[in-house]
Amino acid sequence: MSLKNLGDISYFRLNNEINRPVNGQIPLHKDKEALQAFFKENVIPNTKQFSSITEKITFLLDNDYIERDFIEKYSPQFIEQLAAKIQKEHFSFKSFMAAYKFYQQYALKTNDGNYYLESLEDRVMFNALYFADGNETLAKDLAIEMINQRYQPATPSFLNAGRSRRGELVSCFLIQVTDDMNAIGRSINSALQLSRIGGGVGITLSNLREAGAPIKGYAGAASGVVPVMKLFEDSFSYSNQLGQRQGAGVVYLNVFHPDIIAFLSTKKENADEKVRVKTLSLGLTVPDKFYELARKNEDMYLFSPYSIELEYGIPFNYIDITAKYDELVANPNITKTKIKARDLETEISKLQQESGYPYIINIDTANKANPIDGKIIMSNLCSEILQVQKPSFINDAQEYLEMGTDISCNLGSTNILNMMTSPDFGHSIKAMTRALTYVTDSSTIDAVPTIKNGNQQAHTIGLGAMGLHSYLAQHHMEYGSPESIEFTDIYFMLMNYWTLVESNQIARERKTSFVGFENSKYADGTYFDKYVTGQFVPKSDKVKELFANHFIPQAKDWQELREAVMKEGLYHQNRLAVAPNGSISYINDCSASIHPITQRIEERQEKKIGKIYYPANGLATDTIPYYTSAYDMDMRKVIDVYAAATQHVDQGLSLTLFLRSELPQGLYEWKTDRKQTTRDLSILRNYAFNKGIKSIYYIRTFTDNGDEVGSNQCESCVI
């Protein structure tokens, strides 16, 4: 960015004054002054001016900044009217961070980087026009939802919509590797291609034969999963998106795979450089049986994927370890090794304490809640995508003998703060569902046919949420309190209801359902059993008051929806997923995802600039007691909140756990003032499992010297 020498300008100095208390008070007004100075000193003088939106669009088209096709679906008169409608909403950024993030990361700039070519209003308009695909009514609806920040497309969609020189609208993919060299080679090429277009890639290695397994009858010939992990890491490092950022990937392994200890060891700080992976993320798929064996302090057997596929004729991922565990142990044809379950549990905790990895996917929990015929076998780079996959089989010519289904993530997010003031919650959700439907319909990843195939069959989307802690604090509810859990329950129930309503409507209009609908729990109606009881309604006075202006479906409404879905289907195989959504939460000026804030005044290190301070939305004397840092919170409260949402989310939620290396007195009932131990992490994982949590993302630890997020003297001040 060559607009100016940004670090020497007053808005950074003004923003930094937030971190200098005056008479024991945080000078929050300095952030507003920084925001005003940013527009005066940077945005206004560096924005290319046009006399009208028509003149601007003509310039952008003539100079190949935006695509012509989506613009020509509308008349110039309509676009002028839409631009005026957006302006009448009088949008303004609420914090310096929000404005800075938008103009640095999202705003279209001239080729030389010297001028901004669009405002947030312009980016919203182009998104609305693009996703509405010529439907003027939908374009208006989407523009209103986005300019009022009730809906926020995920970064790749929001950033790229309408641009001529753009990346994909999606940036998250899942691919499966089967146990042969052709599949491994093809998957490495897929990783290269997906990384090239800006994708973060999830890969499951559980099907691969273990180190020492035979190859073509030669015993001990197989090298196992670790060398393949190194190949993937090198692929992501090489295919680094024009040198702007490293490619990103995560590899998943089942805890019953014989290479599990070697897999975990690759992330240890003292690992040999020949096996150590520095940038590749690690995740585990954990069947229920592991929790049982660890709880009973019993031995556990690790089963050879090679011998399982020989015996059962299916890849390892598709064996139900929990159901077949005793059978596998007793079968002499299955090669197996024995370890102590608790020893593995301790290894997992040690690595999480040291590195934050591995992610945990409670794979049986995910599959028991899954309404779709088929099996979930893995997740993505942020652990919120949980969809069924089918394996592919490839010949020596690298041709598909049988093409399976892999996954792309088509994401967007509601902003809870603003959704709760929506004049029509259902109308808002339906418009968002339409926008995401355009993303899934128009995304075609030709370089990876299995992803293209999966997307075309499933039409999946993932609508999520952010701003939960912001909303709770501003309504004087403690995060994790009974009322906050009840609020979360009802909010996600409404998201589920209205996405189902709209998916059913789209299926009716197009006379098309996702492939396999007839074998789903939607088709036979059993998915709706818990809803037709009428139990999901506000019960406490506080939550009744919060939802007083919103329609709450009763038992009869769910029954009518069940009948409509059984009769006319659903367009989308999956509809809901809660991502971490860090960047987009800044421009929406709200807490990220549905987890708690980490600091009341967040400190961020920006490249070439230094520190920026971001006060929590609505931070004031009356809300500061409700803005408890995640690092000072009982993590069981966070798990409880996520569990309330999980029961309504057909995919997953990216759940991060936040811990201190030194735990305050009485933070947990089983803890005193002592160092965090591996046992604490084990207890939390088991608690999450028993609460029905499908996945755990990072474990983030705040150390005494501030290694994780840094110390902040504002934390102890008043407003």
Positions marked catalytic: 380, 382, 384
Give the span between the Cα atoms of 229 and 276, in whole angstroms.
Answer: 9
Going across the sheet that includes 151-153, the strands are 151-153, 411-415, 462-466
Listed residue (317, 298, 407) closest to 364, CA to CA: 317
Which residues, other chains included, contact 46 with Cβ-Cβ below 8 Å and sequence gap of 6+?
Answer: 3, 4, 114, 115, 116
HSE toward the beta carbon, residue 305, CA cutoff 13 A: 29
Q: How far apart are CA 50 and CA 58, in angstroms?
A: 10
88 vs 691: CA distance, rounded Å: 46
* Helix, strand or coil, per DSSP, at residue 627: coil
Helices 482-510, 425-442: crossing angle, 10 deg rounding: 60
* Alpha-carbon distances of 528 from 64, 70, 374, 568, rounded to whole Å: 49, 39, 19, 15
Residue at token pair 């034969």: 209
Task: Specify which residues 701 forms β-bridges with.
Answer: 659
Neighbours of 29 (CB within 10 A): 11
**CA distances (Å), 646 to each of 18, 650, 653, in order?**
37, 8, 7
How far apart (Å, rounded) are the C-alpha atoms in residues 141 and 127? 12
Residue 557: both structure tokens together: 């409404």
Angle at 445 between CA 439 and CA 451, to 5 degrees: 95
Phi, psi values for residue 220, rounded to 5°: 75, 10
- Tell me how far CA of residue 179 lies from CA of 229, 262, 286, 316, in angstroms: 14, 18, 20, 9
Yes or no: say if 102 and 137 are a contact pair by the CB < 8 Å rule: no
274 contacts: CB under 8 Å, gap ≥ 6: none
In 10 A of CB 511, how many CB atoms?
Answer: 8
- Give the whole-angstrom CA distance, residue 60 versus residue 67: 9
Q: Both ends of the chain: CA-CA distance in Å? A: 35
**Whole-angstrom Cα distance, residue 707 to residue 531?**
45
Task: Please give the Cα distance from 386 to 407 (Å, whole number).
Answer: 9
Q: What angle do CA 498, 501, 507 make, to 5 degrees?
A: 140
Contact (Cβ atoms closer than 8 angstroms) between residue 574 and residue 520: no
Radius of gyration of the chain from its Cα atoms, rounded to whole angstroms: 26
